[in-house]
């Protein structure tokens, strides 16, 4: 019996080591993605609406069965419900907070280019439009948003490059 | 041609005197009326900082006019006038009626949907699969070793 437990603890050790090391390579992946919104900008939609999802048990499901290295967190091809990034490491495996399109939540039918204050949250420091994999905007609204930003740029309401 | 809706924004040099601005808007309105258009709205946003420098100016006096017209050459004429005027440093005309139409359509669709399904909580979360659920198969594998 004592033999058994020893064996058990031994078998634990080698297994636990790669387990702990596994999520490491992911970390640099999501770190830079999370960075751009933090660059002196008003908070992104993510933190606010993502938190309530944290305790949901089924969020972790799509990812835990995935063999390591099969799908990287940035471009996961797993089920959509897992959101895209802002990764949060659980006890085992990886799960992401689900991001929701801010415009869909607010039921926006038209994005006005004449209100640059609202659009400013969707450009980076150097004036780039933030990709939707980061903001979580749905494709339709991202399309409208991009158009609105481009119109606003043309009439000097928003910068083409960095704000000068 | 069907009726179209346009946004016309132009930026004037910040040093332009107020009465000249009013005069300019009046002439533009006149042009619109001449071409069978209608001025829905005119707004003077006043002097505001521009996102980048235009003709060495950091600030500009913004004026917005919302127009309605069935004649496409109204826009041509207005833009020609703006181009000729020295006080104007930038202008933009945007056709809006299709966006507005789309907006209306979406609104209607939503209302229809809301009428059809009055408050039905369809939030059934498939709650299978716990975070701890993955632990068990792994533990079983370990015991087999």
Question: Where does the pLDDT of residue B120 fall: very low under 50, low under 70, confident under 90, or very high at 90 and above?
Answer: low
d(CA A20, CA B4): 63
Residues of A in contact with B63 (CB under 8 A): none
Which residues are registered as beta bridge partners of B92? B9
Our CA-based measurement puts residue B104 at a distance from the nearest CA of chain A, in whole angstroms, of: 8
Whether residue A155 and residue B110 make contact (CB cut-off 8 A), yes or no, is no
- What's the pLDDT score for residue B116? 81
Our CA-based measurement puts residue B136 at a distance from the nearest CA of chain A, in whole angstroms, of: 12
Scanning every residue of chain A, which has its alpha carbon at the shortest distance from the alpha carbon of B139? A12
Instruction: Kindly give the pairing relationship between strand A94-96 and strand A87-89.
Output: antiparallel
Which residues are registered as beta bridge partners of B68? B5, B38
One of 3.40.50.11930, 1.20.140.10, 4.10.640.10, 2.60.40.10 is the CATH number of A102-154, namely 4.10.640.10
Question: Where does the pLDDT of residue B47 fall: very low under 50, low under 70, confident under 90, or very high at 90 and above?
Answer: very high
Domain ranges of chain B: 4-100
- What's the pLDDT score for residue B2? 81
Identify which of B99, B103, B129 has the shortest CB distance to residue A61.
B129
- What's the pLDDT score for residue A25? 43
Residues of B in contact with A156 (CB under 8 A): 11, 50-52, 54, 60, 90
How many angstroms separate the first and last alpha carbons of chain B? 80
A161–chain B Cβ distance below 8 A for any pair: yes
Domain ranges of chain A: 24-64+73-99, 102-154
Q: What does the pLDDT average to over B13-30?
A: 92
3-state secondary structure chain A: CHHHHHHHHHHHHHHHHHHHHCCHHHHHHHHHHHHHHHCCCCCCHHHHHHHHHCCCHHHHHHHHCCCCCCCCCCCCCCCHHHCCCCEEECCCCEEECCCCCHHHHCCCCCCCCCCHHHHHHHECCCCCECCHHHHCCCHHHHHHHHHHHHHHHHCCCCCCCCCC
- What's the pLDDT score for residue A89? 57
CATH architecture of the domain covering B4-100: 2-Layer Sandwich (3.30)
- What's the pLDDT score for residue B36? 87
Residue carrying structure tokens 């069935």: B70
Whether residue A164 and residue B53 make contact (CB cut-off 8 A), yes or no, is yes
Interface A:B, Cβ pairs < 8 A: 77
Scanning every residue of chain A, which has its alpha carbon at the shortest distance from the alpha carbon of B62? A155
For residue range B132-144, what is the model confidence (pLDDT) as tens digits? 433 444 444 444 4
Q: Average pLDDT per run of 10 along chain A, which is 164 residues long?
A: 43 41 43 42 44 44 44 43 50 73 88 90 91 91 93 92 66
A164–chain B Cβ distance below 8 A for any pair: yes
pTM score over 0.80? no
A18–chain B Cβ distance below 8 A for any pair: no
Scanning every residue of chain B, which has its alpha carbon at the shortest distance from the alpha carbon of A12? B142
3-state secondary structure chain B: CCCEEEEEEEEECCCCCHHHHHHHHHHHHHHHHHCCCEEEEEEEEEEEEEEEEECCEEEEEEEEEEEEECCCHHHHHHHHHHHHCCCEEEEEEEECHHHHHHHHHHHHHHHHHHHHCCCCCCCCCCCCCCCCCCHHHHHHHHHHC
Question: Where does the pLDDT of residue B1 fall: very low under 50, low under 70, confident under 90, or very high at 90 and above?
Answer: confident
For residue range B52-69, what is the model confidence (pLDDT) as tens digits? 999 999 999 999 999 998
């Amino acid at each position: 019996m004592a033999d058994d437990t020893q064996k058990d603890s031994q078998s634990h050790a080698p297994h636990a080591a790669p387990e702990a090391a596994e999520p490491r390579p992911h970390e640099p992946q999501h770190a830079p993605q999370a960075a751009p919104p933090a660059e002196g900008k008003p908070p992104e939609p993510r933190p606010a609406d993502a938190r309530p999802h944290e305790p949901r048990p089924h969020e972790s499901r799509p990812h835990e069965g995935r063999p390591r290295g099969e799908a990287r967190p940035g471009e996961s091809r797993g089920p959509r419900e897992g959101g895209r990034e802002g990764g949060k490491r659980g006890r085992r495996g990886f799960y992401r907070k689900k991001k929701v399109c801010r415009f869909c939540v607010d039921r926006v039918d038209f994005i006005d280019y004449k209100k640059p204050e609202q659009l400013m949250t969707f450009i980076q420091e150097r004036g780039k439009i933030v990709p939707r994999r980061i903001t979580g905007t749905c494709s339709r609204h991202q399309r409208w948003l991009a158009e609105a930003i481009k119109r606003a740029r043309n009439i000097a309401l928003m910068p083409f490059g960095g704000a000068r | 041609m069907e009726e179209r809706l346009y946004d016309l924004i132009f930026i004037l040099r910040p040093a332009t005197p107020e009465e000249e601005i009013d005069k300019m808007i009046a002439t533009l309105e006149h042009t619109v009326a001449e071409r069978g258009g209608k001025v829905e709205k005119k707004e003077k946003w006043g002097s505001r900082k521009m996102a980048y420098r235009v003709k060495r100016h950091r600030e500009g006096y913004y004026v917005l006019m919302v127009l309605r017209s069935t004649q496409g050459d109204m826009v041509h004429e207005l833009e020609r006038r703006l181009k000729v005027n020295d006080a104007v440093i930038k202008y933009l005309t945007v056709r809006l009626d299709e966006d507005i139409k789309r907006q209306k359509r979406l609104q209607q669709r939503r209302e229809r949907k809301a009428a059809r399904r009055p408050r039905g909580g369809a939030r059934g979360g498939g709650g299978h699969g716990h975070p701890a659920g993955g632990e068990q198969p792994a533990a079983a594998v370990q015991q087999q070793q």
